[in-house]
């Protein structure tokens, strides 16, 4: 299995404690997740089981549990899962500390829904890993089950360009993100300034992301046996919703 320790260490040491704040606050992230679920009519109709791959600090896991699912929430960051446990409370959410490619951690759940949101897909090291993950999702989902994939679109910029994005700030924190675009990799440097006792401190870390492109991702779903129900690829985000076809369904 290709190494993702660089990404994991970056989340544990830099992002986890500030992730919800960077996303606009936990309540805002949760409300966005609820709105997405509602807008796309995602609701339990079969086994009632959902798997959240790269669950992070629980935005979607909690939203799905409140919508009636029993959720298995997978994340490689123990620090992020601690936030998830806090927000999950008594909801039917089972947190699992594992790489999402460790299929034994979530196989045989018989999910009717699998989601992989945020930048989880881009944390995979290569397209082979993404293809294998999507195929495994097809294998684990019940017939007619739904796979939802969403990630940022890093495939648009030409090789060698650089962009620095001011993401969020308040009186005591400033978060910036520098992106160095390449063909096979995107190098991301997260920069966080924090003020304590009147003085500012700087923390930064760099890691790689996979520049997933819309067309290859859509083809992966089709090849794995999904009928595309929703397909949106804007300048910033790719979102795909696929429904697992039955063995005797006609092609297309």
- The mean pLDDT of the chain is 92
Give the range of the structural domain holding residue 14, as residue numbers without chain letter. 5-154+212-244
pLDDT at site 248 = 63
CA distance 105 to 102: 6
pLDDT at site 251 = 59
Do 219 and 196 have their domain in common?
A: no
Tens digits of residue pLDDT in 206-252: 999 999 999 999 999 999 999 999 999 976 899 999 999 986 666 55
Do 197 and 240 have their domain in common?
A: no
Q: SS3 letters for 21-80?
A: HHCCCHHHHHHHHHHHHHHCCCCCCCCCEEEEECCCCCHHHHHHHHCCCEEEEEECCHHH
Is 249 part of any domain?
A: no
Do 169 and 119 have their domain in common?
A: no
- Percent of the chain with pLDDT strictly greater than 70: 94
Average pLDDT over residues 137-152: 96
Do 198 and 223 have their domain in common?
A: no
Q: What is the CATH number of the domain that holds 121?
A: 3.40.50.150
Residues 152, 236: contact at Cβ < 8 Å? yes
Do 99 and 200 have their domain in common?
A: no
List the one residue out of 19, 66, 45, 38 whose CA is nearest residue 173.
Answer: 19
Is 127 part of any domain?
A: yes
How wide is the angle at C-alpha 76 spanned by C-alphas 226 and 73, nearest 5°?
55
Looking at the whole model, is its pTM more than 0.75?
yes
Is 250 part of any domain?
A: no
pLDDT score of 171 more than 70: yes
Do 79 and 188 have their domain in common?
A: no
Distances (CA, A) of 107 to 1, 58, 100, 137: 17, 20, 11, 9
Residue 118 φ then ψ, to 5°: 65, -135
List the one residue out of 22, 17, 39 whose CA is nearest residue 177.
Answer: 22
Do 147 and 168 have their domain in common?
A: no
Strand pairing partners for 180? 162, 187
List the one residue out of 114, 50, 56 whose CA is nearest residue 81.
Answer: 56
Is 92 part of any domain?
A: yes
Q: What is the CATH number of the domain that holds 179?
A: 2.20.25
Residues 176, 191: contact at Cβ < 8 Å? yes
pLDDT score of 44 more than 90: yes
* Start-to-end CA span in the chain (Å): 32
Do 58 and 76 have their domain in common?
A: yes
Q: Per the structure, how many domains does the chain have? A: 2
Residue 32 φ then ψ, to 5°: -65, -40
Which residue bears the tokens 């909801």? 91
Is 172 part of any domain?
A: yes
Tokens of 111: 């999910």
Tens digits of residue pLDDT in 49-106: 999 999 999 999 999 999 999 999 999 999 999 999 999 999 999 999 999 999 888 8
């Amino acid at each position: 299995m290709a190494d993702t320790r660089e990404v994991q260490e970056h989340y544990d040491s830099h992002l986890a404690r500030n992730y919800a704040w960077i996303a606009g606050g936990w309540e805002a992230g949760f409300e966005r997740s609820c709105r997405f679920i509602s807008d796309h009519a995602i609701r339990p109709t079969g086994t009632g089981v959902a798997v959240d791959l790269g669950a992070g600090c629980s935005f979607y896991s909690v939203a799905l549990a409140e919508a009636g699912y029993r959720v298995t929430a997978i994340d490689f960051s123990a620090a992020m899962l601690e936030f998830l446990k806090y927000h999950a409370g008594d909801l039917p959410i089972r947190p699992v500390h594992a790489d999402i490619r460790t299929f034994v951690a979530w196989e045989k759940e018989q999910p009717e829904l699998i989601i992989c949101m945020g930048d989880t897909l881009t944390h995979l090291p290569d397209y082979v890993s993404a293809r294998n993950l999507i195929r495994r999702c097809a294998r684990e989902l019940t017939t007619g089950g739904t796979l939802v994939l969403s990630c940022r679109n890093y495939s648009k910029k030409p090789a060698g360009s650089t962009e620095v994005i001011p993401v969020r700030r308040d009186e005591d924190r400033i978060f910036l993100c520098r992106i160095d675009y390449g063909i096979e990799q995107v190098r991301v440097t997260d920069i966080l300034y924090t003020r304590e006792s009147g003085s500012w401190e700087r923390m930064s870390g760099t890691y790689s992301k996979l520049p997933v492109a819309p067309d290859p991702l859509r083809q992966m779903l089709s090849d794995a046996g999904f009928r595309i129900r929703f397909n949106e690829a804007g300048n910033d985000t790719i979102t795909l919703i696929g429904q697992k076809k039955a063995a005797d369904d006609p092609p297309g």
